[in-house]
Structure 1
Amino acid sequence: MFLVRLLHIKKMGKYVYKILTLVIYKCINHFEIILGGVEMARKTRLMQQVEERYRQPLERLLPEMINENGLSATAAELEVSKATLGYWLLKLGINVRRVALAPGETLEVKRAS
């Protein structure tokens, strides 16, 4: 739908088309930077307090705690709600995946250096 409208705009003239495509490209690029985690997420006061209490950055602390204890227990231990913990994970770009393992199967997590 969006591309169809863009093609209709192309008929209006090359100059208008070039301006609109440039604006659209800049908007898409801006959102990729924000969502892709290229820019450092600004941490809230509560996030900073938790980092000070555990003397670790949340980017390292949260995955370790969640892998060991699970989401609910981690939220309880950090004394935050599960919704807040979920928001932090989203804000910091930390992906949480659920994996089903058959008996005897193991899972290995490798950290990219």
Structure 2
Amino acid sequence: MANQNDLDTMFVALSDPTRRRMIRRLGRGPASVGDLARPFPMTLPSFMKHVRMLETSGLIRTAKSGRVRTCTLNRDQFMLLEGWLAEQREIWEDRTDRLENLVTNDQEAQS
């Protein structure tokens, strides 16, 4: 399971709409930094800050071949995030089930 710092870094990385759009695009397959940057109205150095944040969080990997840096999703890191979300879902479903039982039993007792 991911440690708290890993999760914090991933959530910070995903908190930005530019980075979420980058992730969405990379979900279709690898892309060069230039291709990823094209739809965004910012300079390449500013865009690279987003790339570095996603790379630091472990959500993407980059590889340089000549002058081209290619980005790919790190699906393993998303599995860690998915595991944490599944744990949270289970906790909240258990709580809502208990609340439902409490309300149902209370209504039956009043009948």
Per the normalisation by structure 1, the TM-score is 0.33
Q: Which structure has the highest strand share of the two?
A: 2
Q: Select the structure with the greater relative contact order (CA < 8 A; seq sep ≥ 6).
A: 2
Per the normalisation by structure 2, the TM-score is 0.34
